[in-house]
Each structure stands twice: as C-alpha cells, then as structure tokens.
C-alpha cells in the first residue's frame, strides 16, 4: 500500500479498500475527506451543527451505498462530494419545508378558527403533516421526498443509498399507516 505524507494510504488505495468494504478504509476516507465535506456543508448551510450532521450523513450514506462506487469511474473524493451536494440540498429543502410549515401554522393561529371557518382540507393537511412528522426514518424522509419534493422512487433510492424495493416498501407501509391514523383520528372527531 502506498502512503501519503500524513501517514494515510493514498486516495486510490483508500478508494479500492472502501469499494471492497474494508472498514479501515472508511476510517481512512473520513480522515482524508471529512474536513472538505464539513467545509462544503458549513459554507452552504451556515450552521455548524447542520454541517456536522451533513458530514456524518454523507459518510453513513457512502458506506451503505459503497456497492455503487466504482474506483474505475472516478475518485472517491469526487463521489463523496456528490453525495454531499445531495445531503446539503436535502437539508435546505427541510429548512424550507419547516419554515413553510411554521408560517402555515402561524397563519392558522392568526385567523379565526371556529369550526365553521376551518375547511376540511386544511384540517386534513394539518393532520397529515402531524402524522407524517411522527413516522420514523427512513419512512418519513421517503414520503416527504416523494410527495413534497415530487421525487421518483429510483431517485430517492439513489439519494438515500437504499435498494429500490426497500424504498417502495417503506412508502407503501408509510402510506398505509398514515391512512389508518387519519381514519382513526377522523373517527374520534365524529364520535364527539
């Protein structure tokens, strides 16, 4: 194995070991590229905690999806940077969605909310957003990506480094759970 000046294996050797599933290569990749990933995330997000979370998510996603990495098609650092861009975009989309939800909730509080004035669609949207927030990941993330971001299941599978069948199963089970919860909640409301 070739070594760099810092005592790490060369980027090419790290990439080969990473693709082969050697955990030491994951640690070497983290030492080699985590500061770059963190800096990219910090510049884009402007928040240290978010940048730390994104950095961790990048390496977890990369490790889970390592079977899709081929050192012959490009360097590991570039592949990790691509994952970083997706994770930053996900975090920015989450921020926008949270901001939009907070504004919508504030708007509901500011308006008169007598039962006659709140339409059923608005109630359904609030109930759905609340129940969706209660789902565990990755189910919650998959449904948000599919319905709020209008992403296809193959795109979601690629971004989350999950098999397509797993993404579809989570989506189906999540939708069934949401349907059951909404029926249950609406059933409770009509019995009062």
**How much of the chain, in percent, has pLDDT values that exceed 90?**
42
Domain of residue 69: give its range: 7-110
The last residue of one of the domains, among 71, 93, 110, is 110
The last residue of one of the domains, among 54, 85, 110, is 110
| 130/76 same-domain check | no
CATH code, domain with 50: 1.10.1740.10
| 117/78 same-domain check | no
Q: How far apart are CA 4 and CA 61, in angstroms?
A: 26
Q: How many domains does the chain have?
A: 2
Indicate if the alpha-carbon torsion angle 38, 40, 43, 49 is positive or negative.
negative
Q: Is residue 1 part of a domain?
A: no
- Which residue did the predictor score with more confidence, 104 or 45? 45
Q: How far apart are CA 100 and CA 148, in angstroms?
A: 12
Q: How far apart are CA 125 and CA 131, in angstroms?
A: 10
CB 18 within 8 A of CB 69: yes
Q: Is residue 2 part of a domain?
A: no
pLDDT tens readout for residues 38-68: 999 999 999 999 999 999 999 999 999 999 9
Q: Which of 144, 168, 8, 145 is nearest to 76 (CA)?
A: 8
- Which residue did the predictor score with more confidence, 33 or 114? 33
User: What pTM does this model have?
Assistant: 0.53
Q: Is the pLDDT of residue 169 over 90?
A: no
pLDDT tens readout for residues 113-163: 555 555 666 666 777 777 777 778 888 888 888 877 888 888 888 888 888
Q: Is the pLDDT of residue 185 over 80?
A: no
| 100/133 same-domain check | no
- The whole-chain average pLDDT of the chain stands at 83
- The pair of structure tokens assigned to 81 is 């940077």
| 117/82 same-domain check | no
- Which residue did the predictor score with more confidence, 119 or 164? 164
């Amino acid at each position: 194995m070739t070594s760099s000046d810092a005592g790490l294996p060369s980027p090419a050797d790290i990439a080969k070991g990473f693709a082969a599933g050697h955990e030491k290569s994951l640690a070497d990749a983290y030492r080699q590229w985590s500061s770059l990933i963190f800096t990219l995330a910090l510049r884009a997000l402007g928040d240290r905690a978010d940048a730390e979370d994104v950095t961790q998510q990048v390496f977890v996603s990369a490790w889970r999806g390592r079977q899709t990495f081929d050192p012959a098609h490009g360097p590991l650092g570039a592949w990790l940077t691509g994952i970083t861009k997706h994770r930053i975009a996900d975090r920015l989309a989450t921020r926008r969605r949270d901001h939009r939800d907070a504004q919508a909730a504030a708007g509901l509080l500011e308006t008169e909310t007598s039962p006659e004035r709140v339409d059923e669609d608005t109630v359904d949207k609030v109930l759905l957003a609340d129940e969706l927030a209660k789902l565990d990941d990755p189910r919650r993330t998959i449904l948000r990506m599919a319905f709020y971001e209008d992403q296809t299941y193959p795109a979601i599978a690629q971004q989350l480094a999950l098999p397509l069948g797993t993404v579809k199963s989570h989506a189906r089970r999540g939708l069934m759970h949401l349907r059951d919860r909404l029926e249950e909640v609406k059933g409770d409301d009509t019995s009062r």
